[in-house]
Amino acid sequence: MSRGYCLGIESTTDDFGVGIVSFHGEVLANVVSTYVPEKGGIHPREAARHHAIVAAKVLTEALERAGIRHEELDVIAFSQGPGMGPCLRTGATAARALASYLNIPLVGVNHLVAHIEIGKLTTNARDPVTLFVSGGNTIVSAFEAGRYRIFGETLDIAVGNCIDVFGREAGLRSEEGFPVAAMVEKLANSGRVLVLLPYVVKGMDLSFSGLLTAATHLLRDEKHGLEDMCFSVLEYVFSMLTEVTERALAHTEKTEVLLTGGNAASKRLQAKLEIMAEEHGAKFCVVPKEYATDNGAMIAWTGVLGYRHKMFLPIDKSFVRLKWRLDEVEIPWVENRYAD
């Protein structure tokens, strides 16, 4: 294959990221700018406004870091969904403009597929059971017959959302580079006493909303120390996640476990999964932090895979897909990977 480059744009929620990846899978640049709300959660319109303001700067910086000129790009990829409409549209607009100006193909990438693919690229996992955990998603998936099938997922809110809301209810505030989830974990490390909460696993699916309600009520009662509450919430949710991942691993009989997504940085979750994987003789892989949270490199790399299979997206059909499910996407490159 000729030397080539893909530029990928990620703008699903609060991150605007641009990555440049060679066709061989070498990441040349991965620049991210994150919208930090003054209080509360992410407001889609405010996040989109942030993306529009920083877009040109982030794009320029990515090209400079990669040390290539824009004429050298062969394909533009963008995160087409799922995510927040205004945010996705901002990234899509930039991607369409670049592709049409440079007259090169456009590839629409499923954000969830991208998280799995960058995980495989950076950890050398070949065919893992993947646990994807973030503020918007909680999915256990594995490749079967042409697609990443969903074996388990949350029936209500995402685990990252559960931890964030709990943390904010406890009065914690996110700061640049130190999200609420990290603060909850830091407090949990000094917690000792387990407070009983609802443990809700249904088959391979999970539910966190009842646990969140119970935990917030207990916070208001002020009977337990904040450290113990953080410890208990994380013990419960991470045990639940590990249990369903274990079920998927036993069910699919795969030999690798891959942890990815914004909450993959949790050392407590990593430790649990590692113990579980070891018991099953499976290899445990975790995505490096810069590729765990939303980033442009994962979109660019998945764009390369799509480009190889000529999955080009005409600009007039490049509308964003807010609720695009992981298991709707055909993955033609996985079997080919084994063939070569």
Partner 1 sequence: MLIKKGAEASLYLEEWHNRRVILKKRHSKKYRVPELDREIQVQRTKHEPLVIQRAKEAGVPTPVIFMVDLAEATIIMEYVEGKQVKQVLNDLPQEERINLCHYIGRLIGKLHGNGIIHGDLTTSNMILTPQNRVVFLDFGLSEQTSELEARGVDLHLMKRALMSTHYRYADECFRAIIEGYEGVVGERATREVLSKIVEIEKRGRYVSER
| Residue 3 in contact with partner 1, rule: CB under 8 A | no
Spatial CB neighbours of 298, under 8 Å, sequence gap ≥ 6: 8, 10, 19, 114, 115, 117, 118, 291
Q: How many residues bind partner 1 (CB under 8 A)?
A: 47
User: 273, 286, 297, 300: which one contacts partner 1 (CB under 8 A)?
Assistant: 273
> First and final CA of the chain: distance in angstroms?
13
User: 168, 325, 329, 334: which one contacts partner 1 (CB under 8 A)?
Assistant: 325
Contact region for partner 1 (CB under 8 A) — 101-109, 136-144, 172-180, 210-218? Answer: 136-144
Spatial CB neighbours of 100, under 8 Å, sequence gap ≥ 6: 315
| Residue 96 in contact with partner 1, rule: CB under 8 A | no
Contact region for partner 1 (CB under 8 A) — 24-32, 96-104, 155-163, 165-173? Answer: 155-163
User: 2, 69, 323, 340: which one contacts partner 1 (CB under 8 A)?
Assistant: 323
The region, left, alpha or beta by phi > 0 then psi within -120 to 50, assigned to residue 195 is beta
| Residue 127 in contact with partner 1, rule: CB under 8 A | no
Dist. CA 11–CA 84, nearest whole Å: 9
| Residue 205 in contact with partner 1, rule: CB under 8 A | yes
| Residue 164 in contact with partner 1, rule: CB under 8 A | no
Smallest distance, partner 1 to C-beta of residue 131, A? 13
Smallest distance, partner 1 to C-beta of residue 246, A? 4
Site string for partner 1, 223-252 (x = CB under 8 A): ------------xx--x--xx--xx-xxx-
Dist. CA 249–CA 88, nearest whole Å: 33
Helix (H) / strand (E) containing 141: strand 138-144
Numbers of helices and strands, H then E, in the chain: 11, 12
Whose structure tokens read 């000529």? 310
Identify whether the C-beta of residue 84 lies closer than 8 Å to the C-beta of residue 12.
Answer: yes
Our CB check for partner 1 shows the closer of 69 and 323 to be 323
Contact region for partner 1 (CB under 8 A) — 35-43, 151-159, 210-218, 302-310? Answer: 151-159
- The 3-class secondary structure across 188-251, one letter per residue, is HCCCCCCCCCCCCEECCEECCHHHHHHHHHHHHHCCCCHHHHHHHHHHHHHHHHHHHHHHHHHH
| Residue numbers 274-313 binding partner 1 by CB under 8 A | 275-276, 279
Query: Pairing between strand 129-133 and 106-110?
Result: unpaired
Dist. CA 136–CA 261, nearest whole Å: 10
Contact region for partner 1 (CB under 8 A) — 21-29, 114-122, 222-230, 272-280? Answer: 272-280
| Residue 185 in contact with partner 1, rule: CB under 8 A | no
Residues in the site for partner 1, rule: CB under 8 A? Answer: 81-82, 112, 136-138, 144-145, 149-151, 153-156, 158, 194, 196, 199, 201-205, 235-236, 239, 242-243, 246-247, 249-251, 271-273, 275-276, 279, 321-326, 328
